[in-house]
Amino acid sequence: MTMRQMKSIKRPLILTLALLLSSISIVGMKPSTGGNPILREGANAQKPKEDPCPNAQSQLEMNQCAGNAYKAADDELNQVYRKLVAMLDAEDKLQLKGAQTAWLKYRDAHCEFVGDQYKGGSIRPMIYAFCLADVTKNRTTELKGQIEDRDQ
C-alpha cells in the first residue's frame, strides 16, 4: 500500500473514530444536566432544596414562613458569632466587628437587589426574606469555619 492510499484511508478512519467517541460521551450524559459536569450527580453537586413552607396556602403564609426562616438563621448566626467573639483577643474582636458590619451592609444591599426584581409584587417580601436567610446561613458557615480553625 502506498503512502497516498494510507492517507486516504487514515483521514476517514480518524473522522469516524472521532464521531464514534463523541457519540459515546453524549450517550453517557444525562439529559437533565445538559452534559454539564457541575450539574451531574456526585460529591460536588448541590442537593435540591427542600420546600421550607410545604403547608403554606397563601402568599401571606409564604411570606411569614420566609420571615421565620430568616429569624431562625439570624438566631443561629448570633449564637455562633457570640461563640467566636468569646475566643478572640481584643484586637481580633475589633477586626471581626468591622468585618461583620461590612457583611451586614453587603447582605442587606444584596437582598434588596434580589428582592427588587419583584418590586411591587406580593412575592417580594418572601424573596427578600429567603435571600436574607440564605446569605445569613452562608455567613454562619463561614464563622463556624473560623471557630474550627481556631480550635485546632
What does the pLDDT look like over 34-83, one tens digit per residue? 333 333 344 445 566 777 788 889 999 999 999 999 999 999 999 999 99
pLDDT higher than threshold 80 for residue 123: yes
Q: For the domain 59-151, what is the CATH code?
A: 1.20.1270.180
DSSP notation for 47-112: PPPP-S-TT--SHHHHHHHHHHHHHHHHHHHHHHHHHHHHHS-HHHHHHHHHHHHHHHHHHHHHHH
Q: Tell me, what's the pLDDT at 35?
A: 37
In this prediction, residues 89-115 reach a mean pLDDT of 98
Predicted TM-score of the model (pTM): 0.67
Whether residue 22 has pLDDT greater than 60: no
Q: What does the domain layout of the chain look like in residue ranges?
A: 3-31, 59-151
